[in-house]
Structure formats: C-alpha cells, structure tokens
Structure 1
Amino acid sequence: MKDLFLFSSLFDSSHTFAYFFHIALVALIAVIIAKMATHSMQLVPRGMQNLGEAFLEGIVSMGRDTMGSEEGARKYLPLVATLGMIIFISNIIGIIPGFEAPTASLNLTLSLAVIVFVYYHFEGIRVQGFIKYFSHFMGPVKLLAPLMFPIELVSHFSRVISLSFRLFGNIKGDDLFLAVILALVPYIAPLPAYVLLTFMAFLQAFIFMILTYVYLAGATIVEEGH
C-alpha cells in the first residue's frame, strides 16, 4: 500500500520497480550534479564548482586524518566520494513526499557494504601481499593464532552487517518517523522534523565514508611490531 503514494506507482505499483526507479533517479541526480560542477571549470570556483570542490576537500581532509597522509586520502577519494554522494542523495530524497529513500532498503545498503568489504581486502592483499596481509589476522602472539584467526574473520564479516544495518536501520526509522508526523500533523509541525532528517541524511553518509577510510587504513597501513 505504501507504494501507491509514490510517484513511481504511476508506472508500476510493485515495490521492486519503486526501488529500481529511485536508484536510477539517484544515479541521474548524481551525474547531473557532477556535470554541473565540472561543466565550465574556473580558477576561482563559483556555484556548483565551488560546492563540488568544498565537498571533495572535506573528504580529503577526513581521509588525511584517517589515512595519515594526503596521498592515501586522494588515492581512495573516487570511491569514498562516490559512496558519500550516492548515500546522501539516496537519504535526502526519502524526506521528499512522493519519493522513497533507496537506503531504506537492505538491497542497497548491503550492496554498498559488500563493495567496501571486498575492496579494502583487495587493497590490503595488493599492498602487503596475500600471506603478509592474512598473517595479521593471527595476532602478535603465535601461540594464540588458532584462536585469533577465526575471531578476526568474524570481526571483519561483522563489518558488512554493521555498515549495512546501521545505514538501513537509521534511514528506515527516519522514513517511518516522517510518515507518522505527516499523518498526524501535516502542516507546521513537520518543519523541525525535516531539519532533523536532513542532518541525519548527512550524518549517515559521513559515518559510512569515514568508516570506509578507517577500514582501508587498517588494511593498507601496518605499524611496525603489529
């Protein structure tokens, strides 16, 4: 019944169509924003270019603090910035009546979490080598290696659940909260809720981005004696 109140139901009322409709919409918005920001590059940025550069510089600053170097932050900037943009746009369209946040579905959040999981392991193996990378899963004490290795495996797989369910749970809860507010008091009262949900949309994107940097740093940066 919820899909009947979505614009996507004008074409097809199924939930699957609604999900793919909103995913396509998010991708289209992201491409349009990127094109607008890079259409006519200027030495002194203005308009969308200014916003785009501020967005990227903010992510580089976040990555610099996490990775320990600007080189590492910029290396993974394309991945982290893309994740941040897709997640934020997905979150924000969910607070617009007639639209549904794709991040309110585990289909998207789990897919993004798996991408991060596979990529940071790939980078860890590429940077350190297969044997050296997985040797860190055994801990610093060889005697405890049979115990530490499965614990580390569970810890890494739990990151997929943590990333996906945190984002899904928060956005799904926000959608339900907004639906209740609009049903009870559809006029003035929802305004503070929109401010709060906009902040939460930004916060959840920020958390996903910084955790991606944290996992990449843990996989590619190994301290002596670790």
Structure 2
Amino acid sequence: MAGGLPHPVLLSTFLNMDEVVINGQVIEFKHVFFSWLCMAILFVLAYIVRRRLTLVPGQMQNVFEAVVDTIETFVCTTMGEAGRKFVPLLAGIFIYIFAMNLMGLVPGLDAPTANLNTTVCMALFVLVIYNAVGLMKWKAHYIYHFTGPSKYLIPLMFPLEVVSHLSRPVSLSLRLFGNIRGEEIVMILFFVMAPILGTIPIYALFLLGKTMQAFVFFMLTMTYIKGALEAPEH
C-alpha cells in the first residue's frame, strides 16, 4: 500500500524486500532497497561510460558530458572559480536525486524519495557538508556566520541563526518528499481511474516535476555551500 492506495506489484515486493525484521521488529525496507538499486544502476552506467571514453563520444557519453558540463557551467557562474571543486559533489547530488525520482515512473519500481526517511538523510548530509566546508574554510571564525554584524545583536542573532540553519534540512526533506509522494499518489489515482488515458498524458508533466525537484535540491545545496564560503561578518 502507498498512502492507503493500491499499487502494482513492485520489484521489492516480488523479492520480499518491502520489510525486514531486526531484533524482532518489522522495519520498512522498500525505500532502502530502491535506493541501493538506484546506486547500483548509476555505478554500472558510470563504469560503462568510463570504460568507453573516446575522443568521439557515443550517445551515452554525450548525455553524461552534457549533464556534467551544464552543471559545471551553472555552478561556476554562480559561485565563481571557488565552486569548481564542488562540481563533483553537486553533480552527484543532482544525478542521484533525479534518478531516484525517475524510478517512480518505471513500472515495477518506486521512488525512494517518496519516503521521508530518504529525503531526511539527504537533507542531513547537506547540513553536515556545508557546515564542514565553512569550518574548513574559516576555522573558528565560522562562528561569526551565526552572530550577525554587531556584537550587541549576538544574544538575538545567534539563536535565530541556529534555528534558521536547523530548519534548512526540514525544508529540504519535506519539500522533496511532499512533491514526489504527492505525484506518486496522483499517478496511482489516475492509473486506477483511467489506466491508459489517465497515466500516459501526465508522465511528461511528472517528468518535469521530478526534474525540477532534483534541481531545487541541487540549487539550495549549492547556495548553502556558497554562503558557508563567504567571509563572515564580525
């Protein structure tokens, strides 16, 4: 069941991987299974592209080069040359989330990002990584990102900034989860009411939506890293 609605038999259901029992407790495992499947697919594709790198690229190499080059151009335009070293991280985040989103459009598969556990993990990773970048860049002076421009405002600004930073993973995770889960539920409803006419026309719309959600997550991650690299006010 997904949100109380019926869905076609999934690969995880066929392989009996929807749930696992740990210490006698039943734990939902479907989103983990499809996350691992997504990673496996991406690793295989990356290996194939790496083995077939040529000066005259093939179709698959062209696709990956276009995606990475577009992301690199966008990041460097927004962050400057300082952002170039973060291109692999940001490109990886975009491709991984985009691939997980797309799995919801494939019969027999499910989007791991339609589960809150997946999006929370991704959002917490972003929280840790951009603060780590700030600490490595500014060392102890990174604390000034939380204190505001005046020392007299520290008692007010510090708790506000802490709450603001902690709210970022909440916003990231709920936005991605809510949109992808909502699309999955709508698709199930259309599939039940009109199996062909109801689902095929909205595939293009959902493809656009899933792409935009991956881009928003990527863009916000880039913005947080950019902010961490900026000189703190003190």
Aligned partner of 1:26 in structure 2 is 38
2:68 match: 56
Aligned pairs, how many? 222
8 A Cα contact 1:63 1:72, kept in partner = no
- How far apart are the structure 2 equivalents of 1:31 and 1:175? 26
Out of 82, 89, 111, the position equivalent to 1:101 is: 111
Write out aligned runs for 1:52-201 (5 A): 52-67=64-79, 69=80, 71-130=81-140, 132-201=141-210
**TM-score with structure 2 setting the length:** 0.89
Moved over 3 A (4+): 1-4
Residue identity opposite 2:142 in structure 1:
Y
How far apart, CA to CA, are the structure 2 residues paired with 1:181 and 1:189? 5
Gaps in structure 2 of 5+ consecutive residues: 20-27
Shift of the alpha carbon at 1:62? 1.8
Q: How far, CA to CA, are the matches of 1:212 and 1:44 in structure 2? A: 33
User: 1:142 deviation in Å?
Assistant: 1.6
1:179–1:4 CA distance, 2 compared to 1 (3 A): closer
What RMSD over aligned residues (CA atoms) do the two structures have, in Å? Answer: 1.7
Which stretch shifts more, 180-189 or 31-40?
31-40
Query: What is the Cα deviation at residue 188 of structure 1?
Result: 2.3
Mean CA deviation greater in 76-85 or 165-174: 76-85
CA distance in 1, matches of 2:197, 2:18: 32
How far is the alpha carbon of 1:47 from its aligned partner? Answer: 1.3
Q: Distance in 2 between matches of 1:196 and 1:218?
A: 33
Summarize the Cα distance change of 1:44–1:14 in structure 2 as closer, same or farther, 3 Å threshold.
closer
Distance in 1 between residues matched to 2:148 and 2:114, nearest whole Å: 37
TM-superposition CA deviations, 1:21-61 (whole Å, max 9, x none): 21121011111221232222122322111111111111112
* Same amino acid, percent of matched pairs: 38
Contact 2:119/2:176 (8 A) holds in 1: yes
Alignment check: 8 A CA contact 1:19 1:102 kept = yes
Q: Deviations over 1:88-119 (max 9, x none)?
A: 11100112222110001111111111111101
Q: Would you say the 8 A contact 2:17–2:33 is kept in 1?
A: no
Runs of 5+ consecutive residues of structure 1 not aligned to the other structure: none
1:159 and 1:20 map into 2 onto residues whose CA distance is 23
More helix by share: 1
Alignment CA distance shift 1:164-1:77 (3 Å)? same
TM-score normalised to structure 1 length: 0.92
